[in-house]
Amino acid sequence: MNKEQAKKRIEELRKQTEFYAEKYYDEDKPEITDFEYDMLMVELRNLEKEYPEFQSAESLTQKVGGHVKEGFEKVTHEVPLQSLQDVFSLEEVEEFDERIKQKAKENGIKEVMYVVETKIDGLSAALEYKNGKFVRGATRGNGLVGEDVTQNLKTVKTIPKEIKDKIDITVRGEVFISKKDFEKMNEEREANEEELFANARNAAAGSLRQLDSKITEQRPLDIYIFNVQKIEGKEFNSHFEELEYLDKLGFNVNPVRIPCHNIDEVKKAIEEIGEEREKLTFGIDGAVVKVDNLKFREILGTTAKTPRWAVAYKYPPEKKETILKDIVCQVGRTGVITPMAILEPVQVAGSTISKTTLHNEDFIKEKELKIGDTVVIQKAGDVIPEIVEVKKEKRTGKEKDFEMPRQCPVCGAPAIREEGEAAIRCTGIECPAKLFRNLVHFVSREAMNIDGLGENIIQQLLDNHLIENIADIYTLTFEEIASLKKNGKKFAQNLIDSINKSKENDLYRLITALGIRHVGTKASKILAKKYKNLDNLMNAKTEELSEIKDIGEIMANSIENFFSQEQTKDLIAKLKQAEVNMSYIEKEGEDNRFEGKTFVLTGSLENYTRGEAANLIEKYGGKTSSSVSKKTDYVLAGEDAGSKLTKAQNLGVTILTEQEFQSMLER
C-alpha cells in the first residue's frame, strides 16, 4: 500500500467508524458486531501508526465516541471518563506488561501488581455523592461532557441513595441488564412484534437514556461500580483497596476483581474469566488489566483518549457448526410471519441452541439457506444466537429450497409483503394469532375507547374462552364480566356501560379500531367524512381512494384489500348485528379553521403537551407532521426548539409562538 492508498483507506475507515460509533453510542442501534467494529479500529490504528503524517485529533483512535443526546442537560466531568485501549491477544498483554515494567524501572519501582476485572458490557456512568447522599449521575458522553441522567439512575435499585460514610465522592460504574432479564425483555418484544434489542449493552444504554424516567423505571437496569473518580478527605495506595472500600460503603462493586503479582497471574486470570464467562449472570465483552499502584498510575499518565495504565483484552466470539434441520413459520401478534430455523442442538458460548430466528425472506435469500445445510452459529453479543455462514462445500445435493408462505399458516388469510418492507404479514382480522393485539387496539382510547377493558382483562376473557373474536365484546354478559374479579359487580356494570357507550361512537373511531394497515386516526377521520357510512367505504376502489388528499396509493390499496377479505366482511356483519354505529355523525357548526394547513410542533410548550396541541389542530381540520418541509404552513415553537426551528427559518415557514397559537384558537 502506497502513501496515497493509505490516506484514502484511513479516510474511509474514519467515516465508517464514525458512522458505526454514532449508531452504537448515540442511537443505541448497532449495525455491525462489536468484533467487526473492533477490527476496523485495529486497522485504522495500525495505518495511523504506520503513516503518522495522517494522524488527526478527530479520529476515533484519539477521542471517545458518543455525543450528548438532545433533551438532556450537559454535565462536564471533573475527572474525564476515558475509554480503554483494546488488545486481542495475550502477546499484546505481555507487550503492555513490558512497557509498564520498563517505566517502573525508570522510576525505581521494584514490584508491579495488577488487578484483572471483567469488562462489563453496558453503559458507563458517573455517580456523584455529597455528604454521603446521591446528588447527580451522568453518562460518559464523549468522556469530557456527558448527559445528566440523575432521575433515571434513581430508578436503578442497586444504586444507594445514601452511603455509609458522609463523604464527597464520585464513582464510576457500568449500567447493564443481566442475561436473564435481557432474554425476558426480548421474548416480550418478540411476542409484541417489536424490534428486538441487538444486545444487552444497547438495551441498557437505550433504557438509561430515556427522556422519560418512568420508562427507565420499567427496565431491569443494574450497575457495578469499578472505580473511584474523585474523593475528598481520603487517600488510597492501591486500586484493589479502593474497591474494597467501595464495597463497605454499600456500592454494588464489580464482583470479579482478581489481584495479580505478575504477568503470568494476569494471563491465568484472563483465561479463567474466559472459561467462566458463560456462568456469569451478566454479559462481558472482555477482561480489564489495571495497574494496582495508584501513585504509579499518576506517573504513567494518560493519552487524550485512554489511560496508559490499563488495557482491555477482548475475547473472540465463539462459533459452532450444526445442521439446519427445518424452517418453520410463526405468526406474531401483529401478523408478521417470521421464519425460524430448527437446528441440530449445539453448545455455543455455554448454552444449547436448537432454534434461532431467520428474520425474514431477504435474510434467507442473502445467506442462500437451504433446509439440510451445515451452518455456522454464533451468539450475537453473547446472547442472541444467529446463523452467520453456510458451509456450501458440505452440501450433498439433498438440501431443499425454502419459500415463505403466501397464506397465513394459522388462519389461511392472504399473507402479503408490501413494497419497501421486509416482513410478510397475515391480513386476516380474525386470525387467532393476532386476536389479542387486535382486541387491545380495538378497545384503545384512540379507537373505540372502551374504558376498563385493559390488557389483563382481555387476557382473562381469552383464557376463560369468553371471547373468540372482536365482535364477542358486544355479547359479554354482566355475569361473565363479574366472574373475572372478586366482588366484581361494580366493575362489571361500569364495563357494560362503557361497551354500550362505544356502540354510539362516530364512524372514524370504528375505522381506526379495525386496524387497517397504514390507516391511523387522521386518515380515519378523512374517510368517515368522505364516505359517511362504512358500506360506502367498503365498496370504494383503490383508484377512487387514492385521489383523496392525504390518502395516497399505498393506503388506498391497503383499504381495498382489507375490505375485500371474507374475515373482514364476517366481522363487520357481526358488529352490525351488535348495533355498533357505522355512520358519520355530523357535528353542528363544525369548525374547520385549520383545514388544509400542516403544523410541525417543536420544543416544550407551557400550556399544552405536544399531544394536546396536535389534538386541537386536528379538531379544527388541520394536520400535524414530524418534519419541516416547503409544504409546512406553520411551525409551533416552544422553549428549547431545536433543528426544526432552524430549518423552518431557512425555508421561510411561518413560526408561531404559543401565544400566537392561542390567539388562533380563540378567534
Looking at residue 278, the DSSP 8-state letter turns out to be G
The string over 217-243, giving b where at least 16 C-beta atoms fall within 10 Å of a residue's C-beta and e elsewhere, is bebbbbbbbbbbbebeeeeeebbbebb
DSSP per-residue codes, 79-116:
S-----EEE-SHHHHHHHHHHHHHHHHHTT-----EEE
Strand order across the beta sheet in which 310-313 lies: 85-87, 310-313, 284-291, 114-120, 257-260
> Rounded to the nearest 10 degrees, how much is the dihedral formed by the CA atoms of 165, 169, 174, 175?
70
Bridge partners (DSSP) listed for residue 291: 114
Catalytic residue among 7, 105, 119, 522: 119
Looking at residue 475, the DSSP 8-state letter turns out to be G
> Rounded to the nearest 10 degrees, how much is the dihedral formed by the CA atoms of 529, 535, 540, 545?
20
Cα 582 from Cα 299, distance rounded (Å): 79
For residue 190, the surrounding DSSP H or E stretch is helix 179-191
H helices, E strands: number in the chain: 24, 22
Q: How far is CA 200 from the centre of its chain?
A: 10
Nearest to 381 by CA among 542, 205, 159: 205
Nearest to 70 by CA among 631, 645, 498: 645
267 is catalytic: no
The catalytic residues are: 119
